[in-house]
Structure 1
Amino acid sequence: MKTGATEPSARRETTAVRSLAEERVLFDLVGALLAENVCGIAERAVEVQREGELFLRVDMEPMRYLLIPVRAASMTAYRCRSADLVEVQIGEHGEAVSARLNPLQLMRRVKELAAARNESLPGLAVFEADLHTAILHTELSMRAICEQAEAGVDPFESFAAAERYASFRDRPFHPTARVKGGFSADDYRSYCAEYGAEICLRWLAVRRSVLTFGAGTAAGEAADLVLDRAERARLRESFVRAGISEADYLALPVHPWQLERVILTQFVPEIEARDFIPLDFVGGAFQATSSVRSLVPKRETNDHLKLPIGIISLGARRVLPALYMLNGERGQRLLAQAVERDQVLASTLALCDEGIWWAYHLPGSDLFEDRPRHLSALIRRYPDLEAGDQLLPMSALCVDSLPQEGHLFDRWLKHRGEAVTKRAICDLFQEVCTAFFSAALRLLRLGVLPEMHGQNVVLRLRAGRVVGLLLRDHDTVRLHLPWMRACGLDDPGYIVKPDRPNSLYNDRPDGLIYYLQTLCISVNLYAILDALSRAYSIDEAELWQVVRQTLAEGLNEVPFAAEQRAILDRELFERQVWPTKLLITPLLQQSGPAGASMPAGSGTTINPLCRAELTS
């Protein structure tokens, strides 16, 4: 009797969570379709009012139309307002709602629009499969979120807890961000940050002659930095059992999924040639971050780990090529030089050391080859903090309200001894923006701009106050050489593919400012702003005024040259449109296998700072 009573309840719960997962994916999908005008959907849309609510009507053939509930937004013309997106049939006796559409059904209607325009979407089948997976993985994530809320884990408790918390949003506004292609449901629970599971590393002995390594490896070998004394002793014993010497072989940590699914199946020639020797040793306990391949150690150490893992996320494999780490070293040196040029940066901006790495690379082979990128390891060394200081990834601030609790600002303000009021929320948001813009603008003046989205930027807190930033992941530090040279900075000498466009070198200053507008503001700060607006029922326009005011004040405090200031004023405040990074169009246009970089594209959107000025 008890079993029979609980089974229907469990099924209802599963159905409810699946429905919520579909809604989350649908919200982001509708937003991207409209913002990017995929297959002309935004061009066909007409505003209509129904019972005082705003909708978009998109006519379809034959005798049908979509009715999309929307609201006006600041960065785009519209945002999805609810999941009640329906298809209406027009008959001789009037209109009738025929279906409420889920994400996959909506994409079938988009496919109809593409056919009507004779538009090719080579990546559509893969994207539809990703949408299906996105719903499944979002459901898994939401279940973990409920477990987290019930457990009452505090993101201020530890850096690992903060990273786990940050993973609950993933890439903001992207409908397939949750997809970890290649993971089963069990894999997702075992290796994604939301579940906080312990990940125990596997180890591979790699012939030293087939490895290249970073400039910082004098700090020690991977086992020295990752394992404790007892584990290192057990590792040495596994070398003895394998009949190999440490003089000839280096022990590299491997993600357990990567070893079983990739190394043991796709690198049989290397194993047969004894260039790779799987060791009968498991050691080193870690937890995943939202990037999946970056891992936080369970023991107390500043040495974190980044490993390749051959899943597909956002249209790219999460591998770790030697090329990226070589360019990361160059980017790190450039950032260190930039920090030396500015007294404020010197006291407020810290860098992770990412020069300690090893990668499979045959002598004389091409750095752009696909195969070697599946075996490598990078030690990400965090700087020492002052006693009591805390680290909080900016991505944690864009997490939606969790069950039974509010936004992270609730907890943060409580730590500061402040009441949760609208004024306190806006002031705390301004504090975050001030620290963020101070670092970004001072680097920009020097002709340098890292990829400062929420996952790469970590807030440094002291007694609950933002005292600076920490940057990590230095392989895409972009630059504009004329501004750099004017400040005495040298070309880092990035390795780029000959005769291919790259985003590291920007010939025009507005090319560098593009990354301030997109990754820094439209992705990072807007995701935080959006979460705050919904969690606390604050009008988006009010929070955009905070962004505009803080940015303007930051520009005034940084000693830009007159020419630089004129360009920034024009690009940031005067133009009616801004550039935007496309989310799903590059995926729909993608053909061929996934590479190591996410497919990219640019479009235009409304300048939110112009709107903020109008509403101030």
Structure 2
Amino acid sequence: MCDTPAERELAQELASFRPELTPAYLAALPGARAAVLARLWRGLVHEPLPWIADRARGGDGISVRLTDGRRLYGPPSDPWATGTAVAAVELDGVPYDHPAPLMAALKVPGGEPFADELDHSTASLALSRTAAPPAGPPSEPWEWEQRSPEGHPYHPTCRSRPGFSAAEQLAYAPEHRPVVGLRLTPVKGATVRGPWPSQWRDGETVLLPVHPWQAGHVLGGRPLLPGPPAHPLLSLRTLALDHHVHLKTALSTRLTSQVRDISAYSVDHALATSALAARVAERLGGRLHITRTLAAAGAGTPDLAAVLRESPYVHAGTDEQVVPVAELAGHFATHDPHRRSAHVTEFARLALGVCLELLDLGVALEAHGQNLLAVVDREGRPRRLVYRDLADIRISPARLARNGLPAPPMTGRLLEDDPAVLRRKVLGCLLTGALGPLAGSTAELGALLEAATRDLPPTADLLALRTEELPVKALTLMRLSPAGDRWAHLPNPVRGAAER
């Protein structure tokens, strides 16, 4: 039964053009509600929300007192647990089994639009779960990016896709494994960085590749030509043109936390950022590959731009595969428990060692489950890392200078010297996007961090990781506030693991 506007809308669309999917969609709705409600409850229990007065364990769950005196009550919440489901949360004794009506009932600042996003997230997650499961191991490298319907493991808007109809989700979302026909639009006077492909030029005019959703919903009235076919990846608006080249497109809608456009700043600095990051990564002796930015072009507005990148798959050797970190849990799940534990620890040691060493040199990666990939051998062991999408890294001029590296050839938002900001960038993404989901609980994360960091070089950043509270993005607070990145600080489980 469909209880909310987004659920009903997707159901009506399916009934009109894919009626055979309707039973599966309706059957998936209760589980999708419980999964998104669990993510929302995690935020209500663990994030610094200004309208929450205190939290306390009581009975078999957690009681949350609001500043206006009302009370929420729900089950225990481990901030690092994944794959959890919450059947209901009570507000002053009234049970809510759907995250959107619960958020609307809270009547807090920003709650109404956030409730709409939660509605979209739930309905879209149910639709994602109708995707046929993969038939065997991947035969093409991009198929690793199309195996899971779940989205971000901790984000309550893990599947929010406002503006996407059911037909568009089935046509463009990676979990449904479509081939997407891109469009080309002519742009005179475009900003171009790098060698733009000759087949995408018409004299002095640049033919800019455009996602078909963007063409239909944002760029109305522009001339459009047929573009190449491509395979959608984890981020949906980034697609594999072939085994060698990936294309990042602008998509002016809010997926999870951000509107997925491409700023003029990113276009202008794309090649310089790529060259700098690759040069610094050379200091790591081959443990990290940076996917090179091949070219970038834009019309000067964030809704009309594109970036061509080297595919991460080119960094796989014979009998190796390149697996996005977001899919490593599924990859390791095929191993026996002892081997899985060993490989997870190997990956954690490699990822923390690489990210902390690069941070010490002066580059803070946004190493979450989409941007970071692991090169695994035929035994499933992680051997090296690949990093893609440099648009939101941070670069420390002071740290580069301290290590004898050239100053960055740029100004603006990518530059940052504050140690706390740099650590948040690296650790917040690596913990919530990679290590937390692989661990699956606070206790397991503590043990994993203790084992993975025991023999790493003793830097100030490593000391902070082992002794200070762990920074994580306050994902619920961010959707209730327009102020950009907001942070929560969770108890550090490393000390308890070391004591055990």
Query: For the pair shown, which has the larger CA radius of gyration, 1 or 2?
Result: 1
Give the structure 2 partner of residue 211 of structure 1: 190
Task: Give, as a single letter, the amino acid of the residue that structure 2 aligns with 1:432.
Answer: F
Q: Which residues of 2 match residues 194-209 of structure 1 at below 5 A?
A: 194-207=175-188
Cα deviation for residue 454 of structure 1 reads 1.2
Task: Give, as a single letter, the amino acid of the residue that structure 1 aligns with 2:45.
Answer: L
SS at match of 2:240: strand
1:390 and 2:321 equivalent?
yes
Q: 2-side partners of 1:65 and 1:250: how far apart?
A: 58
Cα deviation for residue 38 of structure 1 reads 2.5
Q: 2-side partners of 1:510 and 1:448: how far apart?
A: 14
Task: Give, as a single letter, the amino acid of the residue that structure 2 aligns with 1:82.
Answer: V
SS at match of 2:339: helix
Q: 2-side partners of 1:386 and 1:58: how far apart?
A: 52
SS at match of 1:429: helix
CA 1:132/1:198 → structure 2, altered by over 3 Å: closer, same or farther? same
Q: 2:44 aligns with which of 30, 33, 47?
A: 33
Give the TM-score, by structure 2 length.
0.87
Cα deviation for residue 31 of structure 1 reads 0.2
Residues 450 and 478, structure 1, Cα contact 8 Å, conserved in 2:
yes
Q: Which residues of 2 match residues 419-568 of structure 1 at below 5 A?
A: 420-421=336-337, 423-463=338-378, 464-496=380-412, 502=413, 504-530=414-440, 540-555=442-457, 565=459, 567-568=460-461
Q: 1:162 aligns with which of 127, 140, 144?
A: 144
CA 1:60/1:251 → structure 2, altered by over 3 Å: closer, same or farther? closer
Cα deviation for residue 295 of structure 1 reads 0.3
Residues 320 and 374, structure 1, Cα contact 8 Å, conserved in 2:
yes
Cα deviation for residue 312 of structure 1 reads 1.7
Residues 397 and 408, structure 2, Cα contact 8 Å, conserved in 1:
no
Cα deviation for residue 195 of structure 1 reads 0.3
Cα deviation for residue 327 of structure 1 reads 2.9
Q: Which residues of 2 match residues 80-479 of structure 1 at below 5 A?
A: 82-87=86-91, 89=93, 98-111=94-107, 114=108, 121=109, 123-144=110-131, 147-148=132-133, 151-155=134-138, 157-165=139-147, 167-207=148-188, 210-217=189-196, 220-221=197-198, 223=200, 246-265=202-221, 271=222, 277-279=223-225, 282-297=226-241, 300-340=242-282, 342=283, 345-361=284-300, 372-382=301-311, 383=314, 385-398=316-329, 407-411=330-334, 413=335, 420-421=336-337, 423-463=338-378, 464-479=380-395
Residues 331 and 477, structure 1, Cα contact 8 Å, conserved in 2:
no
* Unaligned ranges ≥5, structure 1: 1-8, 90-97, 115-120, 225-245, 266-270, 272-276, 362-371, 399-406, 414-419, 497-501, 534-539, 557-564, 592-598
CA 1:26/1:356 → structure 2, altered by over 3 Å: closer, same or farther? same
SS at match of 2:236: coil
SS at match of 1:475: coil
Cα deviation for residue 14 of structure 1 reads 4.3
SS at match of 2:159: coil
Q: 2-side partners of 1:79 and 1:611: how far apart?
A: 24
Task: Give, as a single letter, the amino acid of the residue that structure 2 aligns with 1:547.
Answer: L
Residues 326 and 433, structure 2, Cα contact 8 Å, conserved in 1:
no
Cα deviation for residue 377 of structure 1 reads 2.1
Residues 128 and 149, structure 2, Cα contact 8 Å, conserved in 1:
yes
Residues 326 and 434, structure 2, Cα contact 8 Å, conserved in 1:
yes
Cα deviation for residue 385 of structure 1 reads 3.7
1:589 and 2:481 equivalent?
yes
SS at match of 1:579: strand
SS at match of 1:555: coil
Residues 69 and 80, structure 1, Cα contact 8 Å, conserved in 2:
no
Cα deviation for residue 140 of structure 1 reads 0.8
SS at match of 1:513: helix
CA 1:568/1:352 → structure 2, altered by over 3 Å: closer, same or farther? closer
Q: 1-side partners of 2:239 and 2:462: how far apart?
A: 40
SS at match of 1:604: strand
Q: 1-side partners of 2:496 and 2:268: how far apart?
A: 42
Residues 145 and 233, structure 2, Cα contact 8 Å, conserved in 1:
yes
Residues 39 and 110, structure 1, Cα contact 8 Å, conserved in 2:
no
CA 1:200/1:544 → structure 2, altered by over 3 Å: closer, same or farther? same
Task: Give, as a single letter, the amino acid of the residue that structure 2 aligns with 1:493.
Answer: P
Residues 33 and 97, structure 2, Cα contact 8 Å, conserved in 1:
no
Deviations 1:130-154 (Å, cap 9, x if unpaired)?
111111111111111xx12xx5242
Q: 2-side partners of 1:12 and 1:360: how far apart?
A: 44
CA 1:30/1:454 → structure 2, altered by over 3 Å: closer, same or farther? same
Cα deviation for residue 190 of structure 1 reads 0.7
Q: 1-side partners of 2:471 and 2:332: how far apart?
A: 30
Q: 2-side partners of 1:182 and 1:512: how far apart?
A: 34
Q: 1-side partners of 2:199 and 2:285: how far apart?
A: 30
Deviations 1:577-596 (Å, cap 9, x if unpaired)?
233321121221228xxxxx
Deviations 1:487-525 (Å, cap 9, x if unpaired)?
1112213342xxxxx4x3333323322223211224321
Q: 2-side partners of 1:11 and 1:254: how far apart?
A: 31
Deviations 1:259-307 (Å, cap 9, x if unpaired)?
1222224xxxxx5xxxxx433xx2421111121110023xx53012111
Pick the structure with more helix per residue: 1
RMSD, aligned α-carbons: 2.8
